[in-house]
Chain A
Amino acid sequence: MTATTAAPRRRISRRKVNREVYNLFAVVILLVIALPAFWIVFTAFRPGNEVNTTPPVWIPHTLTLDAFASLFGLNPDYASGIPVFSYLRNSAAVAIVATLFALTIGTLAGYAFSRFQFRGHTAIFLGIMLSRAVPGVALGLPLFLLMRQYHLIDTVHGLALIYVAINIPFTVWLMDGFFRQIPKELDEAAYIDGCGYWSAFWRVDLPLSLPGMAAAGIFAFLAAWNEYQIASLVTSTPKSKTFPVGLYDFTTQFTVDWRGMTAMSVLMIIPAIIFVILVQRRLTEGLTFGALKG
């Protein structure tokens, strides 16, 4: 090997090393961002005596399912006494109902906004978006008073109805974005082939938008699953309390059962983990599409 060929080769490898260092740097930064989340998840699997020690036990010595066992009442010595199955049932029920209805209703509207110019198009769209800007507390206060009147307070169906409404705006926005990605020419071809507006929507655009609907649906599910502000105002008993409100059961006036809380947190993020992995790409597309074609 001569010196003349070795020099450029070394330079190439140095650039390669630089690039790898850069990649490593990026991964480290992202790991630091994710670290608090890992800490929570690890704590759920730690034995009780490793939680809240000084100095902290950085790396768990053993992993255990104790916290989950006591959460589900399987541990006779240390039962949490928290109605976790009720919370699970309520959370799942409101999230599923909210997703199905918000998706159906929001998809119809999203299609109308993406395909048709009609009187009041922008104003109505803007109005729907603004309804999402109403913060939970502002909405929760009158809803509490009204639901008391209509005997909907502290019921699962009452909460589900609210979640349908607060999920619709974002669904409309996402579906509008997804439908815009489907070429209009497909609809025009369908009209020529004898389709009306509805059958063009039903037979052409809807099947094509199914991946987008999945993403929008997942978003609606998680929004309902995670909602706290309104639920904390209109639910009060295990009859309708959901996970986010139930987390408070771990706090008493002076102490907090952090380990039990992390165990419930892990339960809460399971659907999110599944869904986020499923749709991470789709979601970005729906959100950013409008940026390029208005």
Chain B
Amino acid sequence: MASTDLAPPASSIDADPRTRTSTFHRTQRWFPYAMIAPTIIVIVLVIVYPMLYSVYVSFTPFNLLRPTTTLVFKFSTMFRNYQKLLQDDVFWRSVLHTVVFLTVTVNLSYFIALGLSQLMAKVTRGQGIMRTLLMIPMMFAPVLVGFQFAWFFNATVGLVNNAGLSLGLLTEPRAWLVDQPTGMIGIMIASIWMNVPMLTIILLAGTLSLPQEVFEAAEVDGAPAWQRFRHITMPLLRPFTLIALTVLSLDVARAYDIVRIMTGGGPAHRTEMIWTNAGRLATRDSAYGLASAMSMIGVILGIAFTLYLFRQLVKSRVVY
């Protein structure tokens, strides 16, 4: 009796339900669901429910400081926040800044990380030291990265001005974060500095795991280094690239911390992004309805981006 009950379930999961192992299988069928249930419950309570609530708020004129505006939903006014946004010049500018910022930082971070990983893969000594050095930016919280670069680029006491003046590269101190496009570039530098180590580590792990025989064969066939990189390393690294980009895309919203601290989106919305804009509408103006509407648009953009990368990831897994 006992021996049949404990037959290996994994290999015979589709066995005839009338056999004696059926009780076992029936109890086991809910097992994975029981395992993921706590995860689902927490995520629904703390993430899904608030997000749905946020959708609702985005359709109301709710403002925390004005008791006359309520959380009451009316069909006639439900799209008013969205209408207001679409007509708002600052909103469009923040969308534009966000798109430019993401495109530039994601691409530059990736190419720098790719270069660094190829450089480090060929190093014969001191891999350990280099890895540790590379990990150092990862230890800094995004807030710290923001403050750090805000200080470096500071108009009066900043290290960049100081160094530039004493080395004779600058004739007078510049307000890097106030002027454009240096403000945006400063934020991008901070963001890239934060992103590159993680990407490099993933790409380096990928590069080191590639089968060496392929490269030896290509070398015997006389393929030059650039072609070996272009036609062997790059395609084989593809799944690692996508993992790296997925991790990055999940974390790009962290850039909020940096922008918030370095410029706060200003001056005069010159470095405004969707998240700083939404944050200010909520915390300074208490316009939660409008801020929610804006963050909804941001979320949809973000999710579309992540979904796209995830699909690419699934595809590349099938190939290899």
Chain A residues in 8 Å Cβ range of B147: 247, 261, 265
- With contacts A187-B10, A258-B157 taken as known, whether A165 is within 8 angstroms of B139 at the C-beta atoms is no
B135 with A244: CB separation less than 8 A: no
Bound together, the chains give a CA A197 to CA B6 distance in angstroms of 10
Chain B residues in 8 Å Cβ range of A30: 116, 130, 133-134
B295 to chain A, nearest CB (A): 4
Q: From A192, which residue of chain B is reached at the shortest CB distance?
A: B8
- With contacts A138-B295, A164-B46 taken as known, whether A33 is within 8 angstroms of B243 at the C-beta atoms is no
Instruction: Name the one of A106, A115, A139 contacting B39, with C-beta atoms under 8 angstroms.
Output: A106
Instruction: Name the one of A31, A112, A141, A269 contacting B54, with C-beta atoms under 8 angstroms.
Output: A141
Binds B, one of A2-10, A59-67, A78-86, A270-278: A270-278
A22 with B54: CB separation less than 8 A: no
B96 to chain A, nearest CB (A): 18
Sort chain B's interface into a size bin. Answer: 35 or more
Assess whether A27 is interfacial by the CB under 8 Å rule.
yes
Assess whether B166 is interfacial by the CB under 8 Å rule.
yes
Assess whether A268 is interfacial by the CB under 8 Å rule.
yes
Chain B residues in 8 Å Cβ range of A195: 6
A54 with B165: CB separation less than 8 A: yes
Sort chain A's interface into a size bin. Answer: 35 or more
Binary contact readout A71-114 vs B (1 if CB under 8 angstroms, 0 otherwise): 00000000000000000000000000000000011101101110
Chain A residues in 8 Å Cβ range of B129: 27
Assess whether B222 is interfacial by the CB under 8 Å rule.
no
B247 with A287: CB separation less than 8 A: yes
Assess whether B86 is interfacial by the CB under 8 Å rule.
no
Question: Chain B interface mostly helix, strand, loop or mixed?
Answer: helix
Assess whether B18 is interfacial by the CB under 8 Å rule.
no
Question: Chain A interface mostly helix, strand, loop or mixed?
Answer: helix
A141 with B202: CB separation less than 8 A: no
> Using a CB-CB cutoff of 8 Å, which residues 152-168 of chain B contact chain A?
152, 157, 159, 162-163, 165-166
Bound together, the chains give a CA A261 to CA B149 distance in angstroms of 13
Instruction: Name the one of A56, A106, A258, A288 contacting B166, with C-beta atoms under 8 angstroms.
Output: A56
Binary contact readout A192-210 vs B (1 if CB under 8 angstroms, 0 otherwise): 1011111000000000000
A113 with B206: CB separation less than 8 A: no
Assess whether A143 is interfacial by the CB under 8 Å rule.
yes
Assess whether A55 is interfacial by the CB under 8 Å rule.
yes
A54 with B162: CB separation less than 8 A: yes
Chain A residues in 8 Å Cβ range of B6: 191, 194-196
Binary contact readout A111-144 vs B (1 if CB under 8 angstroms, 0 otherwise): 1110110100000101011111111111101111
A172 with B138: CB separation less than 8 A: no
Instruction: Name the one of B116, B162, B295 contacting A29, with C-beta atoms under 8 angstroms.
Output: B116
Assess whether A181 is interfacial by the CB under 8 Å rule.
no
Chain A residues in 8 Å Cβ range of B10: 184, 187-188, 191
A191 with B8: CB separation less than 8 A: yes
Chain B residues in 8 Å Cβ range of A142: 50-51, 53-54, 57, 292
- With contacts A116-B31, A284-B205 taken as known, whether A133 is within 8 angstroms of B159 at the C-beta atoms is no
Q: From B29, which residue of chain A is reached at the shortest CB distance?
A: A118
Assess whether A69 is interfacial by the CB under 8 Å rule.
no
Instruction: Name the one of B139, B151, B288, B307 contacting A273, with C-beta atoms under 8 angstroms.
Output: B139
Assess whether B266 is interfacial by the CB under 8 Å rule.
no
Instruction: Name the one of B24, B35, B152, B162 contacting A108, with C-beta atoms under 8 angstroms.
Output: B35
Chain B residues in 8 Å Cβ range of A273: 139
Assess whether B92 is interfacial by the CB under 8 Å rule.
no
- With contacts A191-B6, A284-B202, A287-B243 taken as known, whether A132 is within 8 angstroms of B57 at the C-beta atoms is no
Binary contact readout B205-240 vs A (1 if CB under 8 angstroms, 0 otherwise): 110010000000000000000000000000000011
Assess whether A26 is interfacial by the CB under 8 Å rule.
yes
Assess whether B75 is interfacial by the CB under 8 Å rule.
no
Most A CB within 10 A of own CB, among B144, B254, B299, B317: B144
Assess whether A162 is interfacial by the CB under 8 Å rule.
yes
Binary contact readout A145-162 vs B (1 if CB under 8 angstroms, 0 otherwise): 110000000000000011
The 6 closest A-B pairs by CB, nearest first: A135-B253, A294-B317, A226-B141, A165-B46, A55-B166, A112-B35
11 contacts across the A-B interface (CB closer than 8 A): A39-B159, A52-B157, A108-B38, A113-B36, A124-B40, A131-B43, A137-B279, A188-B11, A197-B28, A229-B275, A291-B317
* New A-B contacts (15) at CB < 8 Å, excluding given A131-B48, A164-B42, A288-B209: A23-B124, A26-B119, A30-B134, A33-B133, A34-B137, A37-B139, A112-B32, A135-B275, A135-B299, A138-B54, A172-B39, A226-B143, A229-B279, A268-B141, A283-B201
